[in-house]
Structure formats: structure tokens, C-alpha cells
Amino acid sequence: MNSIALAETLRHEWGIESFASANIRSLVYNNIQNLTVLWFPMKKNISGCCSKTKDDKVIFINTNHTIGRQNFTLAHEIYHLLYEDVDDFIVCGVNNNSQSEKNADNFASTLLMPDSALYWFKSKNQIEDWSLEDIIKCEQYYQVSHHTMLIRLKNLNWINKNQFDNFKSNIIREADKLGYDTNLYKTSPENQKYSSIGELIRLTEKAYDNKKITGGKRREILLKSFRNDVLYNGADNLE
């Protein structure tokens, strides 16, 4: 099965209605066993990483990228974890053109916004020629980045190269003017650079028990991660 068909099948398995937008964070948390996702700032040229063992799956997402891009990266890493053999650790960058990366990108794009959903959106909103306002409305609905949205419209030949270039700029200002939340186009705010879902605490304790990390490192991870509440509750026992 190709990566697009895999994404369509997974949407069905996860109970996402055909044209509905997908809240990717809560979906992965509810549907993938033993998954831990960590959001934290990384170098600009890395979008995310993933790793799996017999017991655990871990995904890292770069919070220095926009929220739209982070949603895409999460869906992209799911492809590696669910459908590929992951030896050790995969690092996904913004400029990697391997077949595996292309498959993961196609998968992510379809998981968040299948072609059928785009056809539905176009017809529901009676769109003949896509305006920037239509584009913003659609990307906000599916919570995908402006870049992803433009690429999809270009691939469907619904916009041409000139429009693609013209629609690229001033997106935050335009979305703001139309009354949309502009967080989709921005990197995580300072107080949300670190967050996690899943098994971080158990994995940290396991690494500490197996002497893979020091007590200091364990404290640092729990402090940053991301889970201040846990650290402070048990702060006396940590050193």
C-alpha cells in the first residue's frame, strides 16, 4: 500500500470522519500504545526525530518550528514508527529528499488533509479561483501550515506557480486581519517550548535505574519537561 492509501486507511481506523479535521495530538495519544512525544527547541534544520524499541515509541518535535509545521512533523514521524523498520534513531530534516522522507511527507499531508477533504471544502465554499482568504480559511480548518496548504493546491493544479509565489508572503498579517488565531504560523511561545505526552516519567526513571543517566540529568529532564508538577511533588527524593 502506498503512503497516501496508508494515511486514508489510518484515518478510517482512528474514526476520523472523511472530511473532518484531525486533532493530531490527541489522536496519537489515544491510538498509539506506549508512545511518548516530547516537544522542545532544536536546531532549525531538524523538524523532528523518532525512535522505537520492542516496548516503546518516542517522537521528538522541534518547537522552534511553527505550530502548523509541528502538526505535520508529528504525522510524519508516525509514518516512520508505524510502517517502517526504525533502526536506532531517525532524524528528519527540512532538506532530506530520500524516498522514505517523501513517503512520510505524503502520509502526513494526507493524514491531516486528504484530497477528498479538499474537494469537499472547495465545493462547500463554492470556490472557483482560490483567494488568499479561502486558503487561510482552509488551512485554519485543517490546522496545516501555509506552506503545506499551498503545495497541495499547486499539486491539484488549483493554483499556478505565480499564485503559489504571490500567496506566500505576509501570511500572519493577512490571517490576523481576517480574525484568525495566528498561532498556527508561529513557533511555540516561550512558556510552551517544552511539553510532553505519554511515558516520559516512566522512561526517565527506567534510564536512571539502568544507570543510563545521572541523578542530575534525571532532575534536568523532569524539570524541563516538561513536568514540573511531578518534580516538585517528589523533589525531596531526587538527589
Q: Environment class of residue 165 by beta-carbon count within 10 Å: exposed (0-12), middle (13-18) or buried (19+)?
A: exposed
Q: How far is the CB of 204 from Zn ion (least distance, A)?
A: 25
CB nearer to Zn ion: give 10 or 104.
Answer: 104
Q: How far is the CB of 82 from Zn ion (least distance, A)?
A: 13
CB nearer to Zn ion: give 101 or 133.
Answer: 101
The answer to whether 186 touches 66, Cβ cutoff 8 Å, is yes
Q: How far is the CB of 105 from Zn ion (least distance, A)?
A: 8
Q: How far is the CB of 209 from Zn ion (least distance, A)?
A: 31
CB nearer to Zn ion: give 151 or 213.
Answer: 151
**Amino acid at position 160, single letter:** N
Q: How far is the CB of 64 from Zn ion (least distance, A)?
A: 17
Q: How far is the CB of 65 from Zn ion (least distance, A)?
A: 14
CB nearer to Zn ion: give 102 or 177.
Answer: 102
Q: How far is the CB of 103 from Zn ion (least distance, A)?
A: 9
Q: Which residues bind Zn ion (CB under 5 A)?
A: 92, 101, 104
DSSP conformation letters of 63-121: TTSBHHHHHHHHHHHHHHHHHS---SEEEEETT---HHHHHHHHHHHHHHS-HHHHHHH
Q: Which residue is nearest to Zn ion (CB)?
A: 92
CB nearer to Zn ion: give 91 or 213.
Answer: 91
Determine the length of the chain. Answer: 239
The answer to whether 73 touches 148, Cβ cutoff 8 Å, is no
CB nearer to Zn ion: give 45 or 214.
Answer: 45
Dihedral of alpha carbons 110, 112, 117, 118, sign: negative
CB nearer to Zn ion: give 101 or 220.
Answer: 101
**d(C-alpha 99, C-alpha 181), whole Å:** 35
**d(C-alpha 225, C-alpha 192), whole Å:** 10
**d(C-alpha 103, C-alpha 109), whole Å:** 10
**d(C-alpha 234, C-alpha 230), whole Å:** 6
Helix (H) or strand (E) holding 9: helix 3-13
